[in-house]
Amino acid sequence: MGQTKAKANGMARAPRRTMNLKKLAEHLDLSPATVSLVINRSSAADSIPQDTKDRVLAAARKFKYRPNFFARSLRAQRSFTIGVIVPEVSEGYSTAVMSGIEDYLLQEGYFYLVASHRHRADLIDEYPRMFLERSVDGIIAVDTPWRLNLAVPVVTVSGHDTVKGVTNIVLNHLRAAEVALKHLLHLGHRHIGFMKGQEFSSDTNVRWNTIECIAKKLGIGINPRLVVQLEGDSPSPQLGYLATKKLLACGENFSALFAFNDISAMGAIRALRQIGWQVPEDISVVGFDDIESAAYQNPSLTTVRQPLREMGRAAAEILLKRINRPSSELHDEHVVEPELVVRETTARAAGPGLASSGSAMKKRAGKR
């Protein structure tokens, strides 16, 4: 009854016409080919003036035009889907890198699938094959050992294996070790504790080798008893907490600690506080990565910044370039530079070494 009355009053709405590519092109007074190149973010659209591309995208939003995904895939013979392999998804390294990957893929109109292998060798081997079965156009492997030679382009982040056809996004670890150790040396620290990463981490060996190299160059002796290794695959600060407990139990002098990453540095600070040591008054702590929460710790964390988001974005950009232009020049390695971010967990060395006096340790423990 209500519909009949509306029609009688001339209020009935005409059926909404679906916007298609041809109609959108006519509205813009452009060729369907030009509109299609812009909408589908084709590499051929690079030659189209930016103001024209802006007009096309604005009109597409206004008329809620969405390209036919299946038609696009059939024309291009692609799925416009990328596979991303990570150790785990939690606050820290992997999440920051994935954020950069996502930034670029969304910008370019690509979908992505994420698989977490939790350092299981069987999953590291199986997931690439599963991705290929789902017709991904390429794969990005984050902090994951990579020795496969696949039919699709592959880019790794913090990958150190040389595989034909694979581009590795890597940090300049020599520079990273240099800025951290020079900072501690400048503050008067000569007895430094070190935290190595887990054996399965892609960066563990290369980072430790560069630390040893730079320490020797700067005249910093490394006491083997002041070197501990993270154990376990948990992304929790507990690993750094437990490793620092082992370091404290050795009874050696040290006035600074260089942690493997920010998460382990946070655990280390808790372990140090539990015996009454204050950071940085009694001991300095340096992290690695500069994850988002590092600046908001109390005290805020001095750390070596990896440009994690930029590394993820670079990985996605290089991968899509290789997908769109298979004949483009391939580089085995793309190196990014670190930066030391000085905050509140480092200060001038207070003395010859905190562990040198049992009475000093008891005195600090009494503060709790």
3.40.50.720, 3.40.50.2300, 3.10.450.50, 3.40.50.450: which CATH number matches 78-171+309-336? 3.40.50.2300
Check pLDDT > 80 for residue 91: no
What pLDDT, on a 0 to 100 scale, did the predictor assign at position 264? 97
Q: Any residues with CB less than 8 A from the CB of 145 and at least 6 apart, and which?
A: 124, 159, 161, 200, 202
Residue at token pair 């990463």 = 197
Check pLDDT > 50 for residue 7: no
- Check: CB of residue 159 under 8 Å from CB of residue 146: yes
What pLDDT, on a 0 to 100 scale, did the predictor assign at position 67? 66
Structure tokens that stand for 352 in this block: 């010859």
Residue of higher predicted confidence among 365 and 175: 175
Q: How far apart are CA 170 and CA 156, in angstroms?
A: 8
Indicate the domain borders of the chain: 16-61, 78-171+309-336, 173-307+341-365
Q: Any residues with CB less than 8 A from the CB of 213 and at least 6 apart, and which?
A: 174, 177
Check pLDDT > 60 for residue 5: no
What pLDDT, on a 0 to 100 scale, did the predictor assign at position 76? 52
- Check: CB of residue 169 under 8 Å from CB of residue 155: yes
pLDDT bin (cut points 50, 70, 90) of residue 36 is confident
Handedness of CA 51, 54, 58, 60 (dihedral sign): positive
pLDDT bin (cut points 50, 70, 90) of residue 365 is very low
pLDDT bin (cut points 50, 70, 90) of residue 15 is very low
Please name the amino acid found at residue 366: G
Which pLDDT tens digit goes with each residue over 127-144? 999 999 988 999 999 999
Check pLDDT > 90 for residue 39: no
Q: How far apart are CA 204 and CA 366, in angstroms?
A: 37
What pLDDT, on a 0 to 100 scale, did the predictor assign at position 358? 40
Q: Which of 1-5, 160-164, 172-176, 241-245 has the lowest mean pLDDT?
A: 1-5
Q: Which of 51, 47, 24 is nearest to 35 (CA)?
A: 24
- Check: CB of residue 231 under 8 Å from CB of residue 221: no
CA angle at 160 for the pair 159 and 166, rounded to the nearest 5°: 65
Distance of CA 38 to the CA centre of its chain: 29
Q: What are phi and psi of 66, to 5 degrees?
A: -125, 130
Structure tokens that stand for 312 in this block: 């993820």
pLDDT bin (cut points 50, 70, 90) of residue 108 is confident
Indicate the DSSP class of residue 245.
H
What pLDDT, on a 0 to 100 scale, did the predictor assign at position 6? 47
Class of domain 16-61: mainly alpha
Structure tokens that stand for 257 in this block: 């600690």
pLDDT bin (cut points 50, 70, 90) of residue 368 is very low
Q: How far apart are CA 184 and CA 165, in angstroms?
A: 40
Check pLDDT > 60 for residue 70: no
- Taking the CA atoms of the chain, what radius of gyration do you get in angstroms? 27
Q: Which residues pair with 235 in a beta bridge?
A: none
Looking at the structure, give the CATH architecture of the domain made up of residues 173-307+341-365.
3-Layer(aba) Sandwich (3.40)
Which pLDDT tens digit goes with each residue over 40-64? 766 667 788 999 989 988 988 888 8
pLDDT bin (cut points 50, 70, 90) of residue 354 is very low
The reply to whether 78-171+309-336 shares the fold of 16-61 is: no
Q: Provide the mean pLDDT of the chain.
A: 87
What pLDDT, on a 0 to 100 scale, did the predictor assign at position 164? 87
Handedness of CA 34, 39, 41, 47 (dihedral sign): positive
Mean pLDDT of 5-28: 65
Q: By three-state DSSP, how is residue 28 classified?
A: helix
Strands 192-196 and 166-171, bridge-based pairing: unpaired
